[in-house]
Amino acid sequence: MKYRKLGNSTLEVSAIGLGCMGMSYAYGETPDKKEMIALIHSAIDRGVTFFDTAEMYGPFTNEELLGEALAPYRDQVVIATKFGIKMQDGKQVQDSSPQQIRKAVEGSLKRLNTECIDLYYQHRVDTTVPIEEVAGLIKDLISEGKIKHWGLSEAGVQTIRRAHAVQPVTALQSEYSLWYRRPEEELIPTLEELGIGFVPFSPLGKGFLTGRFNKDSKFGSSDFRSIVPRFTPTALEANQSLVDLLKKVAGQKNATPAQIALAWLLAQKPWIVPIPGTTKLNRLEENIGAADVQLSAGELIEIDTALDKIKVVGDRYPEELEKRTGL
């Protein structure tokens, strides 16, 4: 495994992290807990040191899973979790009030079975609480030894700048992949300027870029993809040209489409660390293998030229969820 530092910080992590949400939540039937603990241990055995969760994954059960799985390896791994969303009347609502953040951090510390959180993200921007106030409280939590670094998730560039001015931001988490390239417009240049690391989630397009799905694929009601416009039969069929491109390059590189998609991300900047999620050992090994796939400058130009001719069909989120991002 190769390792990278997130931006200008001292936080070093494996070049490929592990997004753990799907082990408890969001993609259909919940996997067996013992099997997921074994998978996490397999990731550690293969050099993965960066594990991503959130209090809302479950809710709460995903943090508990990581707390149990990572306890024997706590000093060898980096745990990232998130605050700022709570359940209210059966719905997720943003809440980054000081009292809620303090309640959230104490809950996460207990569930994760740790004295300190390595990387603590604001899950979504709360427009009712100035980001300067959030950053100020984070500064207090760092001085109290409860967290080491902090980050933002799905925040816009002005919010990032304002937060960073109060307490330096270590990492920004947002969606970024071959089929969602909007971060290239403003976000990545801003992160580079400020020395902030970038942690792309859904780097494999929620599984689409692996080549697993086609227009006949079905998603149950407990699978988040069932409400995503990009996963309708029409969109899945229209977007197959992306998978075809990945298969073509993969054939030339003796790799898989997923590995090319991840290698492409790693090649964009040395401070980008994708966090693909999986519940299967063979997929874990496949994803980790992407760290060893080197794309030449010529190959990257070839991919980008082909991408410019492909129009991705369908929004990445339903309208209601998209409104909660990029603030």
Using CA atoms, how far apart are residues 247 and 210, in angstroms rounded to an integer? 9
Using CA atoms, how far apart are residues 181 and 177, in angstroms rounded to an integer? 6
Task: Check 3, 25, 27, 57 and give the catalytic one.
Answer: 57
Which amino acid appears at position 270 of this protein? P
57 is catalytic: yes
- Here the tokens at position 285 are 């090994």
Q: Which residues contact 43 (CB under 8 A, 6 or more apart)?
A: 18, 51, 284, 288
| Backbone dihedral angles phi then psi of residue 139, each to the nearest 5 degrees | -60, -40
Q: What does DSSP assign to residue 180? A: B
Using CA atoms, how far apart are residues 19 and 286, in angstroms rounded to an integer? 15
Q: 208 near 11, Cβ under 8 Å?
A: no
Using CA atoms, how far apart are residues 190 and 249, in angstroms rounded to an integer? 30
Catalytic residues: 57
